[in-house]
Copies of this chain bind each other. A is one copy, B any other.
Amino acid sequence: MSSTNTILTQLTTTPKEKPTVEQLGFGKHFTDHMFMMDYTIEQGWHNARIIPYQPISLDPSAMIFHYGQSVFEGMKAYKTPAGDVQLFRPERNFKRLNISNDRLCIPAIDEQFALDALKQLLSIDKDWIPSEPGTSLYIRPYTFATEPFLGVAPAKSYHFIIIMSPVGAYYSEGINPVKILVEKQYVRAVVGGTGEAKTGGNYANGLKAQEIASKEGYSQILWLDGKENRYIEEVGSMNIFFKINGKVITPALNGSILAGITRDSMLHLLKSKNIDVEERRITIDEVVQAYEEGILEEAFGTGTAAVISPIGQLKWQDTELTVNDGQIGEVTQMLYDTLTGIQNGTVEDSFGWIVKL
């Protein structure tokens, strides 16, 4: 589709009441409007529109209900102390959406057009962006198969939608390091599968292990690779970093790990602070050994929702590893403060990451 495609706009006549900051939570409230466009073989992506937030009606045979052909993105808009609205590396999200689309055989979107559409939607619903410290507007672009057909093949029709949810401070009571269970039995993804794509099946797959871990008192799963069950891949739905003997290590992207935008930003921040950083394969055995040698200094997950989630404890088989006495580490705290500062406009962006509305 052409970037000059116009977006039909239909404003709501019944605006909703906005939640108070106490009511916010995560992903529960949605703004007054949504962006939507449709794909057909004949017309490509078309019928771009901003409309009141409303239910989607689908045939019971719509392929999304049966064959999982869906991808999504997650990003945030922030209101700066000066009242500006800004996005963080949004072009990376739309680029990754198309990488996911390609893996799932979903037709590509025009990334620039999607970003323009998001900006229009944001300008209409900008009063929904909360301004209290730590709050933001979570943005969810997603694509899914709509064709009414029970057959295993790429669909011939799709929706692309953007919805937005004002969200509260992820750490309303301060950042508390979490307890993580290293998973032996279940596997999130394997090379040759969809681990690199942001598609529903990866998340559905992870629910079972998460449910078991929760019952045992752990916040999240640390996932090992699917081939040898010893290389560290991700934690929950975040990328993972370790600080061992002064050096920061994160698993190299291998085809089964999601290429996190927060992960990439952390790598840039670390380099800019002259902290040694390595992207490479790392086994759980190496982490245990570092712990036993007393050089496992910090561990944390990274992702859009929480930005950073410090790991206070890891359990692998019968071994309990307490990291940094269960306290947030110095580098973890610095990365969190710097990145959230850039995102909310209180720290200067020397990387060119911020896109103002």
Chain A residues within 8 Å of B, Cβ to Cβ? 26-28, 30, 34, 53-62, 64-70, 72, 103-105, 138, 140, 142, 144, 149-154, 161, 163, 165, 185-194, 199-208, 210-211, 226-229, 236-237
Residues of B within 8 A of A191 (CB): 187, 226
Query: Which of these, B65, B68, B203, contacts A152 with CB under 8 Å?
Result: B203
Query: Which of these, B69, B190, B204, B207, contacts A187 with CB under 8 Å?
Result: B190
Inter-chain contact B192/A60, CB cutoff 8 Å:
no
A36 nearest CB neighbor, chain B only: B60
Query: Which of these, B104, B161, B186, contacts A60 with CB under 8 Å?
Result: B161
Inter-chain contact B204/A104, CB cutoff 8 Å:
yes
Q: List 28 A-B contacts (CB under 8 A).
A: A26-B150, A30-B60, A30-B61, A53-B60, A55-B58, A61-B163, A64-B65, A65-B72, A65-B142, A67-B204, A68-B200, A68-B205, A69-B200, A104-B204, A105-B211, A150-B165, A154-B211, A185-B192, A186-B192, A186-B193, A187-B191, A187-B193, A190-B190, A190-B226, A191-B226, A194-B201, A199-B201, A201-B204
CA distance A1 to B103 in the complex (A): 40
Residues of B within 8 A of A190 (CB): 187, 190, 193, 226-227
CA distance A342 to B144 in the complex (A): 39
State how many angstroms separate the Cβ of A71 from the closest Cβ of chain B.
9
Residues of B within 8 A of A140 (CB): 61, 66, 150
Asked if A26 meets B200 with Cβ closer than 8 Å, knowing A58-B56, A65-B70, the reply is no
CA distance A186 to B196 in the complex (A): 12
CA distance A30 to B228 in the complex (A): 45
CA distance A194 to B203 in the complex (A): 11
CA distance A246 to B165 in the complex (A): 62
Residues of B within 8 A of A185 (CB): 192
CA distance A192 to B186 in the complex (A): 4
Inter-chain contact A55/B66, CB cutoff 8 Å:
no
Query: Which of these, B62, B186, B201, contacts A68 with CB under 8 Å?
Result: B201
CA distance A62 to B144 in the complex (A): 12
State how many angstroms separate the Cβ of A217 from the closest Cβ of chain B.
16
State how many angstroms separate the Cβ of A234 from the closest Cβ of chain B.
12
Residues of B within 8 A of A30 (CB): 60-61
Inter-chain contact A72/B66, CB cutoff 8 Å:
yes
State how many angstroms separate the Cβ of A262 from the closest Cβ of chain B.
16
Inter-chain contact A226/B192, CB cutoff 8 Å:
yes
Residues of B within 8 A of A151 (CB): 26-27
Other than A68-B203, A187-B191, give 6 A-B pairs with Cβ distance below 8 A: A64-B200, A66-B70, A67-B204, A154-B211, A200-B201, A226-B227
State how many angstroms separate the Cβ of A77 from the closest Cβ of chain B.
15
Residues of B within 8 A of A104 (CB): 204, 207-208
State how many angstroms separate the Cβ of A57 from the closest Cβ of chain B.
4
Residues of B within 8 A of A236 (CB): 152
CA distance A203 to B64 in the complex (A): 11
Q: Which of A70, A103, A191 has the most CB of B within 10 A?
A: A70
State how many angstroms separate the Cβ of A159 from the closest Cβ of chain B.
9
Q: Which of A64, A66, A149, A229 has the most CB of B within 10 A?
A: A66
A30 nearest CB neighbor, chain B only: B61
